[in-house]
Amino acid sequence: MSKKNDFAENSIFLGVDFGTKRIGIATGQRITSTATPLTTLYAKNGVPNWFDLDEIVAKWRPVALIVGVPIDLDGSEHRTTKLARRFAAILRNRYQMPVYEVNEQLTTKTAKERVFSAGGYKALRQEKMDSIAAKLILEGWFSEK
């Protein structure tokens, strides 16, 4: 599989925060190593409305997808880990592009802290958390050396 440095600096990537009820999406470029929360898709048992996701992929034309996979602090995996890995495999097959899995440990917690500090309790909408978590997943992948 390609490495991130194999892509042009202005290439677009999508970050994905997988969940069984919601899937957060963010977009970013390697040239700035930053990402922007894009949207949150509702899912049923981890399955999104594929039409909505297809539209996002067609519009943004990413060169790769970066999927957050939850791994516990002790390195152990659980049911959601397996579901996220399976979702990543489906994305790889569906879009025929590189899909990278990264540990998403604590991204949702960090997203909540950032949103709360910026806007208090009123800003703590779950939809916002998921796309911000996707942003953190993508930026974490950009910063890995």
Q: What is the pLDDT of residues 69-122, one digit of tens each?
A: 988 777 778 888 999 999 999 999 999 999 999 988 655 555 556 555 555 555
Partners of 13 in beta bridges: 28, 64
Amino acid 109: pLDDT:
57
What was the pLDDT predicted at 106?
55
Whole-number Cα distances in Å, 89 to 16, 69, 95 = 13, 12, 10
**CATH number for the 8-143 domain, one of 3.40.50.720, 3.30.300.30, 3.30.420.140, 3.90.1720.10?**
3.30.420.140
Q: What is the pLDDT of residues 25-65, one digit of tens each?
A: 999 998 999 999 999 999 999 999 999 999 999 999 999 99
Report the pLDDT value the prediction gives residue 142, as an integer from 0 to 100.
Answer: 92
CA distance 11 to 35: 12
Q: What is the pLDDT of residue 144?
A: 82
Q: What is the pLDDT of residue 145?
A: 46
Region for 54 from its dihedrals, namely left if φ exceeds 0, alpha if ψ lies in -120 to 50, beta otherwise: alpha
pLDDT bucket at 4, cuts 50 / 70 / 90: low
pLDDT at 59: 98
